[in-house]
Structure 1
């Protein structure tokens, strides 16, 4: 193997351990055993455990945004798109449970481990950027703006998504998670400003608007 291929093999083995037992369980010796290679090979590819963990962190996908972006149907009305995006958040979460858990573990590890802090910070900034991208896409499709600065709104929305997902990872309460995603969609809708200054239209089948995002 080339060194790039060997590094990829080592990261895959480390990810297997992390998914099974958590990030804290990853050790150089354990990774070598998982990959079926010598300790020397691991040390040849990575200077130390922190270097290996950083490589793992960069391989962790922060969010599954494709289902949310697919919900951005320009032929639909604003409220329908927003709640379809909420369904997309749920659709993206369920098959990626272990990867989301790893993302949160890396955030926690980054708060304690200076070597991993850049990885945790990159994950956080990527989450904010992706959330803002979706909010901007919704605004462009619907021809609206928000009553709050969009970058700051993206931080709030991303934070509540994280909270909803952590609660689901612990409680495994599907109904509560789905309801929370839709309540969050209503919160975003409550901040919408139309070009004529009108608020989003309410129909007989609309969910009630909320003035603040719910506690996860």
Structure 2
């Protein structure tokens, strides 16, 4: 077998795990199936990820990184917080929800798995904290680059973004109506912009 750098091998395994998780669900995912999906010996997989728990944690981190990349690529943060929220959440929906809802189902399954697995409960908390930190940093960057303030703390805004968008996603998963979901997302975006009330320093001093 040709030599593969550790980082590339890890990336290969995580991508394979994502495919297996979306197809088989958390309970149906085994290291054997992931190794087969990745086209590598099971021993090689065990060397990189000794346990299923460690692999699932890496998958969550990979999804979080993908979300961060999508948000940052969706909007020019120097155009302000409102622009970032509107463009970012719209692009997030188009790329990570509408194209293949299995990714979202997988994330919810990982949360339930963590909550129902003794000793892994912290993984669910870490997952949402990770998402909220990403959104908070992204919103703060947009506001700072446009010299804007936000009416609520960025960590509060981030939690509301995650909570509201998750709600729309869950309804879409249970009752996939694309047109209704897009209308609902637009309402959510308006609500979040209203909550943030981005204001420039010039506007405040006027």
Number of residues of Structure 1 aligned to a counterpart in Structure 2? 197
After superposition, the Cα gap between the structure-2 partners of 1:176 and 1:35, relative to the gap in structure 1 and judged at 3 Å, is same
1:16 aligns with one of 19, 35, 57: 19
With normalisation by structure 1, the TM-score equals 0.69
Q: Structure 1 residues 138 and 114 mapped into 2: Cα distance closer, same or farther (>3 Å)?
A: same
Which shifted more, 124-133 or 143-152? 143-152
Q: Is 1:161 equivalent to 2:169 in the alignment?
A: no
| In structure 2, C-alpha distance between the alignment counterparts of 1:36 and 1:155, rounded to whole Å | 39
Deviation at 1:18, TM superposition (A): 0.9
Mapped contact 1:83–1:185 kept (Cα < 8 A) = yes
Aligned-partner Cα distance in 1 for 2:128–2:52: 22
CA distance in 1, matches of 2:71, 2:86: 10
Aligned partner of 2:28 among 25, 28, 31 = 25
Distance 2:59 2:168 in 1: 25
Structure-2-length-normalised TM-score:
0.72
Contact 2:160–2:192 (Cα < 8 Å) also in 1: no
Contact 1:57–1:119 (Cα < 8 Å) also in 2: no
Matching residue of 2:193: 189
| Mapped partners of 1:183, 1:148: distance in 2 | 19
Q: If you compute each CA radius of gyration, which structure gives the higher value, 1 or 2?
A: 1
Q: Which runs of 5+ in 2 are unaligned?
A: none
Partner of 2:176: 172
Residues 77, 142 of structure 2: 8 Å contact kept: no
Q: Counterpart of 2:153?
A: 149
d(CA) in 2 for partners of 1:16 and 1:127?
21
Distance 1:114 1:9, change over 3 A: farther
More helix by share: 2
SS in 2 for 1:183: helix
Deviation at 1:108, TM superposition (A): 1.7
Measure the CA separation in 1 of the matches of 2:14 and 2:77. 37
Residue pair 2:22, 2:106 contacting (<8 A) in 1 also: yes
Structure with bigger RCO (C-alpha 8 Å, 6+ apart): 2
Is the counterpart of residue 109 in structure 1 residue 113 in structure 2?
Answer: yes
Deviation at 1:155, TM superposition (A): 0.7
Q: Does the residue aligned with 2:99 lie in a helix, a strand or coil?
A: helix
Deviations 1:111-170 (A, max 9, x none): 122454454333312211122123224433554433322211211121111111222223
In structure 2, what is the Cα distance between the partners aligned to 1:126 and 1:84? 21
**2:45 matches 1:55:** no
**Cα distance in 2, alignment partners of residues 146 and 136 from structure 1:** 8
Unaligned runs of 5+ in 1: 199-216
Native 8 Å contact 2:81 2:198 kept in 1: no
